[in-house]
Amino acid sequence: MSIAWRDAMNVGEPMVDEDHKHLVDLINAFELAISGGRKIEHKKIARVLLSLVDYTGAHFTREEALQRAIRYPYHESHVRSHRDVLKKLSDIVTEYSRTPEGPTRDRMVRDLAGFLKEWLVDHIIQSDLRMKPYVLQMQAQKAESLRRKREALLNSQKMAGIEPALEPLGRPDLIK
């Protein structure tokens, strides 16, 4: 069964959430390629697997940068778990490419679909959602800092007798 994206899976940072949705799409595409009792399309499987390895690596890099930006306290252990997953994925691809077409390879692919789903759900639900409070805190701090800057600018404009160029935040009645 394919994975359906739910809002509860959002970490709150659009870049990470879009990455996760794309990973879900890739894993669903993988499952689709082996479903329906049809002959397994190994060309498609190989393509999806390579995209998955590439995209997962790029996603981890983006996610780790975000964690540094929000000073995520579990950053180091999270990076270690990323390395483990990448190693496992690359081992899988190597093993897959070395196994000749036949029942063994087909069985390997079916086991793999289970592993990928389990890993993804675990990655997002168990691991990444722990970042959410830190992401939201960073966003709140950014919004507050922006509000203060605008306020300071408006005050300095008022003191200089300049017609405010910015709309004061929180005063919709003043917005033309």
| DSSP per position, 89-151 | HHHHHHHHHHSPSSHHHHHHHHHHHHHHHHHHHIIIIIIGGGGHHHHHHHHHHHHHHHHHHHH
Considering only residues 57 through 96, tell me which ones interact with Fe ion, judged by CB under 5 A: 63
Give the helix/strand (H/E) hosting 58. Answer: helix 42-69
Q: For residues 31 and 63, which CB has a smaller minimum distance to Fe ion in the complex? A: 63
Q: For residues 13 and 128, which CB has a smaller minimum distance to Fe ion in the complex? A: 128
Considering only residues 12 through 51, tell me which ones interact with Fe ion, judged by CB under 5 A: none
Q: For residues 31 and 128, which CB has a smaller minimum distance to Fe ion in the complex? A: 128
d(CA 101, CA 42): 8
Q: For residues 34 and 138, which CB has a smaller minimum distance to Fe ion in the complex? A: 138
Q: How far is the CB of 110 from Fe ion (least distance, A)?
A: 25
Q: How far is the CB of 56 from Fe ion (least distance, A)?
A: 9
Q: How far is the CB of 151 from Fe ion (least distance, A)?
A: 36
Considering only 13, 17, 31, 128, the residue that binds Fe ion (CB under 5 A) is 128
Q: How far is the CB of 20 from Fe ion (least distance, A)?
A: 6
Smallest Cα–Cα separation from 108: which of 119, 92, 90?
92
**Long-range contact pairs involving 137-144 (C-beta distance under 8 Å, separation at least 24):** 137/70, 138/69, 138/70, 139/12
Task: Write out the residues near Fe ion by the rule CB under 5 A.
Answer: 63, 128
